[in-house]
Chain A
Amino acid sequence: MQAGQTVMERSKGPPDSGMNPLARFFFGFRRSSKAMRIFLAIAGPGIIVMVADNDAGGITTYTATGAQYGMHLLWFLILLGPVAYYVQEMTVRLGAVTKRGHAEAIFSAFGRFWGWFSLLDLVMTDWLTMITEYIGMTAAMSIFHFPPILTVVLVWIVMGSMIVSGRYWTWEKITLVFCVINCIYVPAAFMVHPSVKDVLYGAFIPHLPPGGFTNVLFFMLMANIGTTIAPWMLFFQQSSVVDKGLKEKDIKFGKVDTAMGAFLTVLVAVVLIIVCGALLYGQPINSAAQAAIAIMPTSRFIGTTFAIGLFDAGLLGAVCISLASSWAFGEVFGWAHSLNHKIKEAPWFYAYYFFDLLLAGTVVLIPRAPLVLITLFVQVIATTLLPAALVFLIILLNDKKTMGKYVNTRWENIANITIVVTVIVTSTMYGVSTIFPKLFGS
């Protein structure tokens, strides 16, 4: 150790010049393993939000895409990975720098009108989306002859148990296990023995499927974009980053976490399309549960993994969506709103979580409840919130007073604004086409 050298300087190792290769390798390995340990401690919000993005609705969309267009739209799904990354990465920076969730950030920056609009719209959208998650979960479990009430009660127990520990870390680790289960589809993509040539062509050569550009194709592309970026994702990841306590110096690890999540979400989407493209091409498939039943005669194992994956996707979506709303309410009203608080310490935070959970599950159990209408209505309601949430995000990320050196660079603005405008236009057209189906001939 050189005279005057601090402990911190010594721990970084001696300068590279004059070091023998073995010593250089050793210090390089030590630096890398330290970085890996920090990353593993910080990883979580990005992976969870992205994998949860493949919720019951997302799984259904990819299933229908594969059944209708085979491998021809793989390239489009791969392109959506960076789209999701660039949008979600902004929430990491905003959360780490401001230490505020997205709802609170909107209230502070834009005032009470836009704040209440965003909060109440989020609550409505999230609650309706929760119902669609329950629809997916009950449909999946009905394949194994579980009655809906049993599925709903099981979900209540699982989701309730996950959060009562009073530790964010416990909740996160359990959720990451569910994220791993979400990758259950991956082996199925190999088991169906797809044509490698078709997969590579579909994945890396942008082209239109047979039949060219039709209204149906346009509707399907819009549905895929709509399922990739959902408003709750912005609120969830930012609040999760704050609850986890990420600091500005952790932003680079948060970006890697988000990138890994984007990779996983695209991976699951791609394998679903491969499986459905190989086994169900040309068949009219409207839901993932229907796909699982259709696959069962061909391969009971793949059909079973489909059903388990659908249940897991719905559960992950439900967990994240309910937390997104609870965090948003807690931030705005100033309630204790951390998963690091026990129920007695944050009663309103947990009360809202359980209220949301129970109410959405109860709706699914009502006989002759208009579940199809609710599923369609979600698309429309999301259209009112998503553009506002994205525009607020861009404006906040360009506010130098708020973001300091983490403000958007020119290239980030070019990428983000292009993505935001495209997502707003397509999601609006998707919402409008849901209200007026004949408008685009879909």
Chain B
Amino acid sequence: MNAIIQSLITQVREVNRKYAKPEIEMTRVVKFCLLSLRIYLLLLVALMVVKFIMVAKG
């Protein structure tokens, strides 16, 4: 089991190393889209956290 986990960790590190640098040209449009996506996701996650708190409080 330890060997499998170690192997997976190695593979994950390899993936991170392989894809460390984005290949797409970071034009202003691309940067704007990616920034908008990050804000969108943050808002969604915040909504889910709020809902979770509301449900937990009953």
**Cβ of A107 and Cβ of B37 under 8 Å apart?**
no
State whether the Cβ of B21 lies closer than 8 Å to any Cβ in chain A: yes
**Cβ of A333 and Cβ of B15 under 8 Å apart?**
yes
Residues 4-21 of chain B: 1 if any A CB is under 8 Å from the residue's CB, otherwise 0? 000000010011101111
Interface size class of B (residues with CB under 8 A): 20 to 34
Query: Known: A383-B44, A388-B37. Contact between A395 and B30, CB under 8 A?
Result: yes
State whether the Cβ of B3 lies closer than 8 Å to any Cβ in chain A: no
B27 to chain A, nearest CB (A): 9
State whether the Cβ of A150 lies closer than 8 Å to any Cβ in chain B: no
Residues 86-127 of chain A: 1 if any B CB is under 8 Å from the residue's CB, otherwise 0? 000000000000000000000111111011000000000000
Residues 221-246 of chain A: 1 if any B CB is under 8 Å from the residue's CB, otherwise 0? 00000000000000000000000000
**Cβ of A112 and Cβ of B20 under 8 Å apart?**
yes
**Cβ of B44 and Cβ of A395 under 8 Å apart?**
no
**Cβ of B48 and Cβ of A380 under 8 Å apart?**
yes
State whether the Cβ of A358 lies closer than 8 Å to any Cβ in chain B: no
Query: What separation, in Å, do the CA atoms of A333 and B14 have in the docked complex?
Result: 8
The A interface is mostly helix, strand or loop, or mixed, namely helix
**Cβ of A395 and Cβ of B15 under 8 Å apart?**
no
State whether the Cβ of B24 lies closer than 8 Å to any Cβ in chain A: yes
State whether the Cβ of A309 lies closer than 8 Å to any Cβ in chain B: no
Residues 32-51 of chain B: 1 if any A CB is under 8 Å from the residue's CB, otherwise 0? 01100100110011011001
**Cβ of A112 and Cβ of B16 under 8 Å apart?**
yes
Contact among A332, A396, A432 with B24 in the assembled complex (CB-CB below 8 Å): A396
**Cβ of A111 and Cβ of B20 under 8 Å apart?**
yes
Closest to B16 in A: A112
Contact among A114, A435, A436 with B34 in the assembled complex (CB-CB below 8 Å): A114
Residues 382-408 of chain A: 1 if any B CB is under 8 Å from the residue's CB, otherwise 0? 011001100100011001011000000
Question: B15: which A residues are within 8 A, CB to CB?
Answer: 107, 112, 115, 332-333
Closest to B17 in A: A112
Query: Known: A380-B48, A435-B47. Contact between A391 and B37, CB under 8 A?
Result: yes
Question: B29: which A residues are within 8 A, CB to CB?
Answer: 395
**Cβ of A435 and Cβ of B51 under 8 Å apart?**
yes
Which B residues are closer than 8 A to A by beta carbons? 11, 14-16, 18-25, 29-30, 33-34, 37, 40-41, 44-45, 47-48, 51
Which A residues are closer than 8 A to B by beta carbons? 107-112, 114-115, 332-334, 380, 383-384, 387-388, 391, 395-396, 399, 401-402, 428, 431-432, 435-436
Q: What are 22 inter-chain pairs, A to B, with CB distance below 8 A?
A: A107-B18, A108-B22, A109-B23, A109-B24, A110-B22, A110-B24, A110-B34, A112-B15, A112-B16, A115-B15, A115-B19, A332-B15, A333-B11, A383-B44, A391-B37, A395-B30, A396-B24, A399-B25, A401-B25, A402-B24, A435-B48, A435-B51
